[in-house]
Protein backbone atom coordinates (compact mmCIF):
# COMPACT_ATOMS: atom_id res chain seq x y z
CA UNK A 1 0.00 0.00 0.00
CA UNK A 2 3.02 2.26 -0.33
CA UNK A 3 2.17 5.65 -1.76
CA UNK A 4 -1.36 5.77 -0.36
CA UNK A 5 -2.14 8.60 2.02
CA UNK A 6 -2.94 7.56 5.59
CA UNK A 7 -6.02 8.53 7.59
CA UNK A 8 -6.28 7.90 11.33
CA UNK A 9 -9.88 7.51 12.55
CA UNK A 10 -10.35 8.05 16.30
CA UNK A 11 -13.83 7.18 17.59
CA UNK A 12 -15.19 4.94 20.34
CA UNK A 13 -18.14 3.65 18.27
CA UNK A 14 -16.96 0.46 16.49
CA UNK A 15 -19.82 0.48 13.97
CA UNK A 16 -19.08 4.07 12.96
CA UNK A 17 -15.36 3.36 12.73
CA UNK A 18 -16.07 0.41 10.43
CA UNK A 19 -18.41 2.49 8.25
CA UNK A 20 -15.78 5.22 7.95
CA UNK A 21 -13.08 2.65 7.20
CA UNK A 22 -15.15 1.15 4.40
CA UNK A 23 -15.80 4.59 2.89
CA UNK A 24 -12.19 5.75 3.03
CA UNK A 25 -10.18 2.60 2.34
CA UNK A 26 -11.00 2.74 -1.37
CA UNK A 27 -8.63 5.69 -1.61
CA UNK A 28 -6.61 5.76 1.61
CA UNK A 29 -4.80 3.55 4.08
CA UNK A 30 -6.97 3.69 7.21
CA UNK A 31 -5.83 3.05 10.77
CA UNK A 32 -8.03 3.32 13.84
CA UNK A 33 -8.04 4.10 17.54
CA UNK A 34 -10.98 3.73 19.92
CA UNK A 35 -10.29 6.50 22.44
CA UNK A 36 -8.46 9.81 22.56
CA UNK A 37 -5.48 8.53 24.51
CA UNK A 38 -4.81 5.71 22.04
CA UNK A 39 -5.44 8.11 19.15
CA UNK A 40 -2.86 10.66 20.28
CA UNK A 41 -0.29 7.87 20.72
CA UNK A 42 -1.01 6.46 17.24
CA UNK A 43 -0.87 9.91 15.66
CA UNK A 44 2.59 10.48 17.12
CA UNK A 45 3.83 7.03 16.09
CA UNK A 46 2.27 6.74 12.63
CA UNK A 47 2.17 10.37 11.43
CA UNK A 48 -1.05 10.09 9.39
CA UNK A 49 -1.86 12.58 6.62
CA UNK A 50 -5.29 13.38 8.13
CA UNK A 51 -6.97 12.63 11.47
CA UNK A 52 -10.74 12.11 11.79
CA UNK A 53 -11.53 12.72 15.45
CA UNK A 54 -14.72 12.23 17.47
CA UNK A 55 -15.48 14.55 20.38
CA UNK A 56 -17.16 12.33 22.98
CA UNK A 57 -14.79 9.48 23.92
CA UNK A 58 -13.49 7.76 27.04
CA UNK A 59 -10.04 8.33 28.55
CA UNK A 60 -9.42 11.54 26.57
CA UNK A 61 -12.13 13.46 24.75
CA UNK A 62 -11.66 14.78 21.24
CA UNK A 63 -11.27 18.41 22.32
CA UNK A 64 -8.40 17.48 24.63
CA UNK A 65 -6.83 15.21 22.00
CA UNK A 66 -7.08 17.93 19.34
CA UNK A 67 -5.53 20.55 21.61
CA UNK A 68 -2.72 18.13 22.51
CA UNK A 69 -2.02 17.21 18.88
CA UNK A 70 -2.06 20.84 17.70
CA UNK A 71 0.25 21.81 20.56
CA UNK A 72 2.86 19.17 19.71
CA UNK A 73 5.33 20.23 16.98
CA UNK A 74 5.52 16.64 15.70
CA UNK A 75 1.76 16.50 14.99
CA UNK A 76 0.67 20.16 14.77
CA UNK A 77 0.64 20.21 10.96
CA UNK A 78 -1.60 17.14 10.60
CA UNK A 79 -5.07 18.28 9.49
CA UNK A 80 -7.88 17.28 11.85
CA UNK A 81 -11.53 16.79 10.97
CA UNK A 82 -13.73 16.80 14.06
CA UNK A 83 -16.88 14.67 14.15
CA UNK A 84 -19.43 15.93 16.63
CA UNK A 85 -23.01 15.95 17.66
CA UNK A 86 -22.37 18.16 20.69
CA UNK A 87 -20.20 21.11 19.70
CA UNK A 88 -21.46 24.45 18.57
CA UNK A 89 -19.88 25.43 15.30
CA UNK A 90 -18.28 28.85 15.08
CA UNK A 91 -17.12 29.77 11.61
CA UNK A 92 -15.37 27.05 9.67
CA UNK A 93 -12.65 25.96 12.08
CA UNK A 94 -13.50 26.92 15.66
CA UNK A 95 -15.48 24.78 18.04
CA UNK A 96 -16.84 25.57 21.44
CA UNK A 97 -18.10 23.51 24.32
CA UNK A 98 -19.43 24.35 27.74
CA UNK A 99 -16.85 26.18 29.82
CA UNK A 100 -15.54 28.31 26.98
CA UNK A 101 -13.00 25.90 25.50
CA UNK A 102 -12.27 26.70 21.87
CA UNK A 103 -10.42 24.29 19.63
CA UNK A 104 -8.87 24.93 16.24
CA UNK A 105 -9.24 22.21 13.61
CA UNK A 106 -9.23 22.21 9.83
CA UNK A 107 -12.83 21.05 9.42
CA UNK A 108 -15.81 19.66 11.26
CA UNK A 109 -18.62 17.31 10.29
CA UNK A 110 -21.76 16.98 12.39
CA UNK A 111 -23.03 13.53 13.29
CA UNK A 112 -24.61 11.47 11.87
CA UNK A 113 -21.74 11.26 9.42
CA UNK A 114 -22.38 10.87 5.70
CA UNK A 115 -19.48 8.63 4.57
CA UNK A 116 -19.41 10.15 1.08
CA UNK A 117 -19.24 13.67 2.50
CA UNK A 118 -16.40 12.60 4.79
CA UNK A 119 -14.53 11.15 1.81
CA UNK A 120 -14.97 14.45 -0.07
CA UNK A 121 -13.72 16.47 2.90
CA UNK A 122 -10.65 14.26 3.49
CA UNK A 123 -9.81 14.39 -0.21
CA UNK A 124 -10.20 18.19 -0.27
CA UNK A 125 -7.91 18.62 2.75
CA UNK A 126 -5.23 16.49 1.14
CA UNK A 127 -5.41 18.48 -2.10
CA UNK A 128 -4.49 21.61 -0.10
CA UNK A 129 -1.34 19.81 1.03
pLDDT band at 92 (very low <50, low <70, confident <90, very high): very low
How far apart are alpha carbons 91 and 18 in whole angstroms? 29
90 pLDDT higher than 50? no
pLDDT band at 99 (very low <50, low <70, confident <90, very high): very low
Half-sphere exposure of 58 (CA within 13 A, CB side): 4
Q: What is the pLDDT of residues 26-49, one digit of tens each?
A: 999 999 999 999 999 999 999 999
Question: Which CATH number describes the domain made up of 6-128?
Answer: 3.40.50.2300
pTM of the model: 0.87
Q: With H, G, I as helix, E, B as strand and everything else as coil, classify residue 124.
A: helix
Query: Using only C-alpha atoms, what is the Rg of the chain?
Result: 13
Phi, psi of 55, deg, nearest 5: -90, -55
| Cβ neighbours of 99 (radius 10 Å) | 6
Furthest C-alpha separation in the chain: 43
Q: What is the DSSP string of 50-103?
A: EEEEESS-SSS-HHHHHHHHHHSTTTTTS-EEEEESSPEEETTTEEEETTTEEE
- For the chain, the structural domain boundaries read 6-128
Amino acid sequence: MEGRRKVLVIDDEPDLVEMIRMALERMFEVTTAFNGKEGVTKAREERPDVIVLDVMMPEKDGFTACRELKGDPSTASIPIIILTGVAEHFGRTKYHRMGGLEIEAEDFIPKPVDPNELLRRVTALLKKD
